[in-house]
A and B are shown apart, each in its own frame.
Chain A
Amino acid sequence: MSAPDLIAMVLVLAGCTFFVAGTAGLLRFPDTLTRLHALTKADNVGLGLICFGLAIRDGSLAGVTMLIIIWLLAMFAATVSAFLIARWHSPESDPGDRP
């Protein structure tokens, strides 16, 4: 196995570890905010590492650009939804925000 492949494999496995840890946190943590905290790590770092590893394996400009866009879009959506869930949950939030 060549060096780039090995690096890619390590990165993807590390990303998977973040997802497993994030899922464990989502299931085990006691309240909404700590669960969100665990989940965002999986979304941001885990997906980033996986995309990074896949980008090394892919190597083409188009493929790498698409992986970066996927990562950025997923991060943006995850950030906003986590923020809105946290805001909806927090007791001092403005009731007007609640859907």
Chain B
Amino acid sequence: MSAVIGAAYDLLLCAGLLWVALQAMRIREAFGAVVVFMVFGLLMAVVWARLGSPDLALAEAIIGAGVTGALLLNACQAVQTDPGARRASARVEPSPGLPHGLIVAVCIAAGASLAALMALALEVPGPTADAARAGADAHPLGNPVTVVLLDFRAYDTLMEMVVLLAAFLGARVLIDQSELAPLHPPVPADPPMVAPLLAMATPVLVLTSLYLFWAGSHAPGGAFQAGALLGGLGVLYRLTGRLEPYDHTPIWLRTVLVVGLIVFSGVVLAAALWSPWPMRYPETGLYPLVLAIEFALLLSIAATLTALFSGTAGFRPHTGARS
């Protein structure tokens, strides 16, 4: 009985996911499309949770739905307030390229063959998968996802941090070259309820973020989820004017933006001291090193996401005197 209900629920979830994805593509108005995209992210998170991947569910909910949604809403606002951008978007006509039906058919065929491949790959007992599973079981860190992210495939994670930094630098270059109106003009005063919301949300979000970082080594969580959550708090502070825009990147912000990369690269290079290979943890003391890397990553991710959302070169805490 419960298996039938579970299967029905999964089918409903899949149908809903496809429907929402279709709507996100079909809705012409940008704001509506972004809202539907955020709903897609939330449904996707439920799907990951159903598949038994709480790490991915957390990441999808916080980054896929939350942070990406906020950035896209930002972009909507930028396009709506910038007359040049509106003219540019009005000029874009539906391109007379391939017929839509053909594109849809190709996408469906590609998706279906990928799904079939994945289903087949599940049955193949590869030596890599077995070795990875055995290695993760014997690893001092309890969470297999963190084992892969910070040990087996640490290079990928390092490069992800480079991508994040490159994204911020790219955004800075674009901001300098464009003449966008300020995205979040200062508000003269908080509407009621905002101050109590922040007073409660701040400790809860900081605590949850630190918990996710701490839990990452043995349970679902990790630097990316924790950093994105802290970045969400930064977005709240930026929106309510508690962090004000700044026309260059202050030195403390530059430090925080790169600290993750510096600590991570430092450990990677220092490995030459105790092993013939870079990117190898010492026999003892793996846990504190991983914690240090994860904490530095957390700070950098939070700062980068807040700076990206801010849409300015930098930001600084608001003080009454400067106003």
| Cα separation A84 to B239 with both chains bound (whole Å) | 13
Contact, CB under 8 Å: A80 / B197:
yes
Contact, CB under 8 Å: A76 / B200:
yes
A-B contact count (CB 8 A): 23
Total B residues in contact with A, Cβ cutoff 8 Å: 14
Nearest chain A CB to B9's CB is how many angstroms away? Answer: 13
B92 interface residue (CB < 8 Å to A): no
Contact partners of A97 in chain B: CB under 8 A: 187, 191
Nearest chain B CB to A70's CB is how many angstroms away? Answer: 12
Interface size of A as a range: 10 to 19
Contact, CB under 8 Å: A76 / B197:
yes
Contact partners of A29 in chain B: CB under 8 A: none
Contact, CB under 8 Å: B191 / A87:
yes
Per-residue interface assignment for chain B, residues 190 to 209, with 1 indicating a CB less than 8 Å from any chain A CB and 0 otherwise: 01111011001000100000
Contact, CB under 8 Å: B188 / A96:
yes
Contact, CB under 8 Å: B197 / A96:
no
Residue of B whose beta carbon sits closest to that of A84:
B191
Nearest chain A CB to B32's CB is how many angstroms away? Answer: 15
A99 interface residue (CB < 8 Å to B): yes
Nearest chain A CB to B286's CB is how many angstroms away? Answer: 29
A96 and B189 in contact, given A76-B197, A80-B197 (Cβ under 8 angstroms): yes
A20 interface residue (CB < 8 Å to B): no
B residues adjacent to A (C-beta < 8 A): 77, 184, 187-189, 191-194, 196-197, 200, 204, 239
A residues adjacent to B (C-beta < 8 A): 73, 76-77, 79-80, 83-84, 87, 96-97, 99
The list of the 4 closest CB pairs from A to B, nearest first, reads A80-B197, A96-B188, A97-B191, A80-B193
